[in-house]
Structure 1
């Protein structure tokens, strides 16, 4: 019974692996690159992430910077500002739109010079993200990666079943990769034994990846933790209709830092009209884990605080949902978990390759083991001499 079950599992593992191998390879390779996006992007684009300034030099106010950016880039409408509160070497990062296309701008906060303007979807890591999630094929690609993610989870589980030794005395052999000169055996060990050592990590990465593939999985987090679907996180309507005056955004930035005095990145979302409040969020870089964010909603024009949603008072579902991204990328506990995620993704990318080689080696073995024809059939009659 067990032998038959393993045989069926083996066939399932084989054909699911062959069907999804290429997609799994692409997703895992791009995933390993995205683990260190925050570290690599500033190294690749230093001019976009660092500005020169004199020690103690005061930056321009946010309102002054917005006015000068509007003069320099009149076709772009700024919708978002990002400021690193405790890093004076970083530029002001802006997101702006033009004809529904999103642009990312880096602005020198000391001179108001626009250092860089690039379409968001043309950034190197934006392309990698789209390849990782959508295979650069939109909704169709998203559907393929979603199904492949589920298949990959099945492959991890079925692979563990196939790895499991029949007897405990065979456990030692299943825990070591033998490099005895037998190439086929080495490839099998690399696939099976190596896969065992990383199966728990890649299973967690794959399961958390379903959050971006399927709405039902995302909503399921809230249903399990809160007992209800997620509530829409919308800015409240303004009570007083008033345009933002000079110094308004700088005052909101200062108010947010007084209310949230820790080190972190402040983000201001600027609504297009005067009817919606300005959303000010701050990510706590001093928290034990990443992606801890507090939200404040200020009335546009008056600067009155209309609503506060601190992280401490957010629902359990929202807190778990915020942990999904750092768990998925390995940033949950800093460099140690990032390195684990990086090497696990790279090794996971080798699994479709070694799995294919194992299958091809077995096919060759079966071909060679076909029994030869009987000698009688080969010597039915003597071979005639050629006509001279």
Structure 2
């Protein structure tokens, strides 16, 4: 299904429906949908990803005109509805951009699509709460290098992951200080140009906000600032769930410091974001290949004591942790290997152990390679 040359190849056209389940009148299917899909496959970087072109057109015809009109003729009703719309869109957009920053694009490598691919994030990123280029610098050039280790600015290892005050400290540090911490990290590591670029991108975005606020401060709040707050909160709450369970024996293992989610709605709407272990094992793996890779490596996942959950997403994992509801989390666990013989109470206790904060002495021993 992922091979364009295979007769059963099935590109993803919509996030709500699988293509074979789309039942259009024969005339519309033959003369509208199928010709569009054939054309769109030639426009996107990977032929499976017709859905990403659809979403770019969706944002170009809804998010952008709505934002511009708010600066032309503001009303609070429109402003709040715009923010709600962007909040609804942001999960899918975020994970589309996740592929964009790892693959350096989602559209074809020929013009004009190459130019559009390079340009559109500078327009759409601020509309969804991103500061320019920061996602790339933080996620690709930083997080995947450090891998939730001691030098990762979004690392969870020093926090008690079932404590609300630890979570609030974690969120607050990122929201209020990442503009400073990320450039300092790169400079400390000797990547001076990257540090300067990361800092410049943040301040350029802040300057853009200021200029737009001179046009209409209320519109600036609804178009830029509210999405910014929502996204940064969501990023940290989600990352907490992704890296809450860290193995007490080998916390530096990609199998043991991240998790996998299956049978969860967000995999459909957010391009298989639940396969976080697979993503850390191979950050360049295409999103449609994650389930394939997971099944191929399931025996290794079991040997490595990896954690797989069903029917729960990252945000709800964070919520259940703060509630200390390990029984519910244990019920969502998909046991593999040695986990199969555990009772519910044993699973809950195992999960509890993996949320304990590491001391600096433990970090020095267990992360000595870093």
**What TM-score results when the alignment is normalised by the length of structure 1?**
0.25
Greater RCO (CA < 8 Å, at least 6 residues apart): 1
The structure whose Rg is larger is 1
Structure ranking higher in strand proportion: 1
Structure ranking higher in helix proportion: 2
**What TM-score results when the alignment is normalised by the length of structure 2?**
0.25
